[in-house]
């Protein structure tokens, strides 16, 4: 009896092992298939993303192209309108030219009846050419005069600017619009500015420190370089309870006592 149970047990175990082996192989096949499907899905998603980008790029290009076409269509319509006007004007001029040609022909026939007048015609033509040359000379001189006038105006502006700058230097008046304090040295009683003589700061000129629309201190430029300057704080000019700060607005002051 024990042998029978042992045999049955062995058969059951063998069957279980067989089934497990089958299930494992099936499971591995399913895993492999799933991995393959995931790989295909990833490729499809990447392809979809790439196509989406291409679609967006194509849409943007299409929009730009449509705008360009609309602009070109409008330009073409404008040109057609202008061409129509030009054609009308040309037709009018041709009609006038034909009428003038008929008048000239009539005049020439009348002159032929008068007799030999070729010399007079030559003189008239020569006079007309001389008049045309004189008109060209006048136009050229007028253009040259306009250029000279423009150059004179520009030169006068430059001279006026130099005179203003010279006047500022002579009166020791800085001519910048506005700047701000870049650093402060309270122990030495001076501040520095981020602009120099190329920006309109003049050595020895007075400056005002303005805060909330009021002058809170006065400065006197002590040294100037191309891109920076130093200014001393005028004694007793600092408003009571006021401490100068970096960033305070600085404007040119007046030399009036």
pLDDT in tens, 11-54: 877 777 778 777 777 778 888 888 888 888 888 788 888 877 88
Contacts of 171 (CB under 8 A, 6+ apart): 255
- Residues 56 and 62: their CA atoms lie apart, in Å, by 10
Q: Could you please report the per-residue DSSP string of 17-44? A: HHHHHHHHHHHHHHHHHHHHHHHHHHHH
- Residues 252 and 228: their CA atoms lie apart, in Å, by 15
Percentage of the chain modeled with pLDDT above 70: 85
Residue in 201, 254, 211, 256 with CA at minimum distance from that of residue 231: 201
Strands 249-252 and 183-185: unpaired
253, exposed or middle or buried, with CB in 10 Å at 0-12, 13-18, 19+? buried
Tokens representing 222? 């002590």
Residue in 182, 183, 190, 184 with CA at minimum distance from that of residue 235: 190
DSSP single-letter state for residue 246? T
Tokens representing 213? 């629309």
Q: pLDDT 10s digit of each residue in the chain, 257 long?
A: 667 777 778 787 777 777 877 777 777 888 888 888 888 888 878 888 887 788 777 777 778 777 877 887 888 788 788 877 878 877 888 888 788 778 777 776 766 655 556 666 777 788 788 878 878 877 877 887 687 777 777 766 666 666 666 566 677 899 999 999 999 999 999 999 999 999 999 999 999 999 999 999 999 999 999 999 999 999 999 988 899 999 999 999 987 65
- Asked whether 182 and 193 are in contact (CB, 8 A), the reply is yes
Can you give the pLDDT at residue 163?
66
Evaluated on CA atoms 156, 158, 160, 163, the torsion sign reads: negative
């Amino acid at each position: 009896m024990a042998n029978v149970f042992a045999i049955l047990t062995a058969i059951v175990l063998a069957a279980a092992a067989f089934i497990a082996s089958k299930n494992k192989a099936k499971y591995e096949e399913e895993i492999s298939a799933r991995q393959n499907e995931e790989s295909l899905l990833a490729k499809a998603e990447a392809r979809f993303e790439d196509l989406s980008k291409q679609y967006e790029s194509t849409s943007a290009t299409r929009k730009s192209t449509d705008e360009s076409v609309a602009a070109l269509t409008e330009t073409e319509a404008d040109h057609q309108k202008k061409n129509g006007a030009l054609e009308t004007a040309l037709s009018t001029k041709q009609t006038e030219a034909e009428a003038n040609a008929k008048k000239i022909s009539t005049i020439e026939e009348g002159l032929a009846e008068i007799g030999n007048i070729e010399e007079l015609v030559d003189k008239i033509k020569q006079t007309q050419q001389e008049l045309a040359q004189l008109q060209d000379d006048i136009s050229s001189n007028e253009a040259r005069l306009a250029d000279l006038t423009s150059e004179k105006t520009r030169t006068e502006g430059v001279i006026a600017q130099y005179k203003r700058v010279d006047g500022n230097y002579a009166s020791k008046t800085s001519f910048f619009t506005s700047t701000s304090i870049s650093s402060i040295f309270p122990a030495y009683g001076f501040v520095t500015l981020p602009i120099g003589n190329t920006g309109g700061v003049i050595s020895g000129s007075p400056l005002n420190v303005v805060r909330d629309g009021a002058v809170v201190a006065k400065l006197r430029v002590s040294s100037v370089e191309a891109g920076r300057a130093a200014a001393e704080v005028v004694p007793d000019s600092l408003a009571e309870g006021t401490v100068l700060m970096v960033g305070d607005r600085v404007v040119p002051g007046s030399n009036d006592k």
